[in-house]
């Protein structure tokens, strides 16, 4: 009898203890804290904050030294390098700000403002990109490219377009770099005409101008692929840091 009574007391104690723990968990699960539901970690509910984005954007630096600036432009996380894969081929697009090209041409760690301005003024009638076609199998890429070398040299330029809002811009500069003997990719240096507003902004060096989103289109049917689309956001171009100059 005593044993049964003791067992009942233990059961009551455990039930009260469990309810107490549950009450504390509920009290701590307030707005703004991470909660666990259905095996998922849910974002806190805070008014005015959108947690549907993949990663909350970090504040970008206002200015960088020359080498750091080049690394910034070429770092995919900053939005100026985009790629996509179709079958066995990877297509990538690098947007190249005029200051980036000027640094590459000058090959100086600390160019002067005049040197940079002089170099930029030589190029400010176009907007520039590197377009790369790559395959894991270098031999297979070489075979495919040799089969289409005449197309790359004389016709591919006509299959390239850049769309900005309602403007569809032509590819005016096209240079095919034949490096497939030493690397599993080929590079095309491209220059597109500027839309009217962006052309005016570049000419006036208007740093407050907001560049628009850009959609690059390549009709890749000659490579047995569908239409290739790669987009560069205007906000990523607008947030490119300044270069620290002498």
**CA–CA dist 236, 229 (Å, integer):** 18
Q: Give the H or E element holding residue 55.
A: none
**pLDDT score recorded for residue 107:** 92
**pLDDT score recorded for residue 171:** 97
* Helices and strands, number each (H, E), in the chain: 8, 12
Q: What secondary structure does DSSP assign to 163-181, as a single string?
A: EETTEEEEEEEEEEE--TT
Q: Which residue has the tokens 């591919």?
A: 156
Q: Where are the domains of the chain?
A: 2-42, 63-243
User: pTM here?
Assistant: 0.73
Per-residue pLDDT of the chain (246 residues; tens, 9 = 90+): 545 555 445 545 555 445 454 444 344 444 333 333 333 333 333 333 333 334 445 677 889 999 999 999 999 999 999 999 998 899 999 999 999 999 999 998 899 999 999 999 998 789 999 999 998 887 888 888 888 889 999 999 999 999 998 899 999 999 998 776 677 889 999 999 887 777 566 655 545 567 889 999 999 999 888 899 999 999 999 999 999 998
CA angle centred on 241, ends 240 and 245, rounded to 5°: 135
Torsion sign, CA atoms 59, 63, 68, 73: positive
Q: 3-state SS of the chain?
A: CHHHHHHHHHHHHHHHHHHHHHHHHHHHCCCCCCEEECCEEECCCCCCCCCCCCCCCCCCCCEECHHHHHHHHHCHHHCCEEEEEECCEEEEEEEECHHHHHHHHHCCCCCCHHHHHHHHHCCCCEEEEEEEEECCCHHHHHHHHHHCHHHHHHCHHHHEEEEECCEEEEEEEEEEECCCCCCCEEEEEEEEECCHHHHHHHHHCCCCCCCCCEEEEEECHHHCCCEEEEEECHHHHHCCCEECCC
Give the residue from 127, 83, 119 showing the smallest Cα distance to 102.
Answer: 119
Torsion sign, CA atoms 176, 178, 179, 180: positive
**CA–CA dist 145, 135 (Å, integer):** 11
**pLDDT score recorded for residue 109:** 87
Q: Which residue has the tokens 């002067």?
A: 112
């Amino acid at each position: 009898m005593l044993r049964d009574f003791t067992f009942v007391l233990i059961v009551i104690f455990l039930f009260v203890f469990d309810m107490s723990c549950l009450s504390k968990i509920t009290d701590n699960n307030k707005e703004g804290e991470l909660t666990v539901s259905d095996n998922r970690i849910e974002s806190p509910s805070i008014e005015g904050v959108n947690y549907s984005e993949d990663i909350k954007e970090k504040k970008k630096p206002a200015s960088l030294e020359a080498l750091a600036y080049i690394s910034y432009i070429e770092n995919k996380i900053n939005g100026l390098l985009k790629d996509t894969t179709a079958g066995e081929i990877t297509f990538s697009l690098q947007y190249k700000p005029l200051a980036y090209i000027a640094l590459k041409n000058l090959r100086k760690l600390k160019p002067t403002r005049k040197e940079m301005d002089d170099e930029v003024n030589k190029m400010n009638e176009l907007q520039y990109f590197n377009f790369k076609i790559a395959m894991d199998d270098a031999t297979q890429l070489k075979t495919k490219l040799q089969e289409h070398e005449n197309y790359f040299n004389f016709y591919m330029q006509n299959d390239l377009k850049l769309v900005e809002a309602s403007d569809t811009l032509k590819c005016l500069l096209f240079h095919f770099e034949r490096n497939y003997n030493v690397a599993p990719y080929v590079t095309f240096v491209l220059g597109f005409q500027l839309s009217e507003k962006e052309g005016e902004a570049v000419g006036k060096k208007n740093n407050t101008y907001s560049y628009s989103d850009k959609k690059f289109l390549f009709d890749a049917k000659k490579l047995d692929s569908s239409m290739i689309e790669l987009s560069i956001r205007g906000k990523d171009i607008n947030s490119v840091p300044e270069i620290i100059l002498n």
